[in-house]
Structure 1
Amino acid sequence: MRHCLGYLRQSLMCAADTTLEPVDARLGGVIGWGNKRACCGYAALLKWAEERRGHDLKAFSDHGLGSQR
């Protein structure tokens, strides 16, 4: 199990992809093909996410979701 989680972590860190796929209402989901990919380095993705992160721990605890650390 540890190996599988490590493999997933490494894949995300080495090939971070911020592409959002458009929804096709006729299909009831996303197409998944023909979209221009937007790959970036993990450090850049982490920095981007941290800059836009809300104060989620309080929000989660306010709604009884998760535990506040």
Structure 2
Amino acid sequence: MRAIINKPQILLADEPTGNLDKENSQTIMNLFERLNKQGMTIVMVTHDTSLAKYGTRVVRVEDGRIIEKGKEILK
């Protein structure tokens, strides 16, 4: 909440749901969706592909290199 209280243009989120249960993880992702629709850019890093599908752009990194780009990598 501290990160979004001042309504930044860009939010950097590193594993924002890492220590949360499913219900609270869903609440955070719903909040991110609303903020994004209001114009906030959200850059999220996650190992959880079920959360990556919320993104409008997905970049997969392995061993420090970009190996795939685009939503189709989640299918």
Higher fraction of helix = 1
- Please report the TM-score for the alignment, with normalisation by the length of structure 1: 0.27
* Greater C-alpha radius of gyration: 1
Higher fraction of strand = 2
- Please report the TM-score for the alignment, with normalisation by the length of structure 2: 0.26
